[in-house]
Structure 1
């Protein structure tokens, strides 16, 4: 039996608008992070998919929104366990500007059960995934 963690490469958007950040709430289909936690919109790359393309696809699926601009700002690695599976998550974090529109989950059967713009001064009330915490640090919304 191989005890090595499974590798999952992900792309996430750190999207801020009017002192609010876009977050998605995870459900039971989340392969890595706990259901109910709030995450940055984004997710795993499909085989052969480029990170920016994955980010664009995931934002459409999880938020129904299009990217106007996205810049890679950081990469992080996290160890996580869910349903008895160990994961090594490599998260590529993009600072993203989104086109106007109403945020709504469009993917059926995906890992997001909700999407919302949260005021930055209310994020302390939320259970956040490690990529969401890191994204907030990148925009200096939480202390390092």
Structure 2
């Protein structure tokens, strides 16, 4: 079993603080995480839950906030993530780490998302496709200013 990393990147025509707010605000946006509702108090060590429906199946993914870098200007958030839809047991070795990094660029923000712990290159490609879709939603919401 490997540890392949899925990387998704996108440029957003919005300030870093706006993108940060979209990533760390509770509630639901149809464009983000397949319409899931997200809940957390956004403190290190706190739980995070994503609830929704995907392909007609209800899901409740969960994890923890393990890193927040937002002292002067927000730029990194790291979360653990587990999806029961994976069919795998809910044990630490089946969790992914999601690392979002927000870099200021001319006219906006470059967002990089890395997801570790993919068992194969094919699994990493599939995860990357899902995360690209999610980041496109983050871009849409951020650029609208919701």
TM over 0.5, shorter chain: no
Calculate the TM-score normalised by the size of structure 2. 0.28
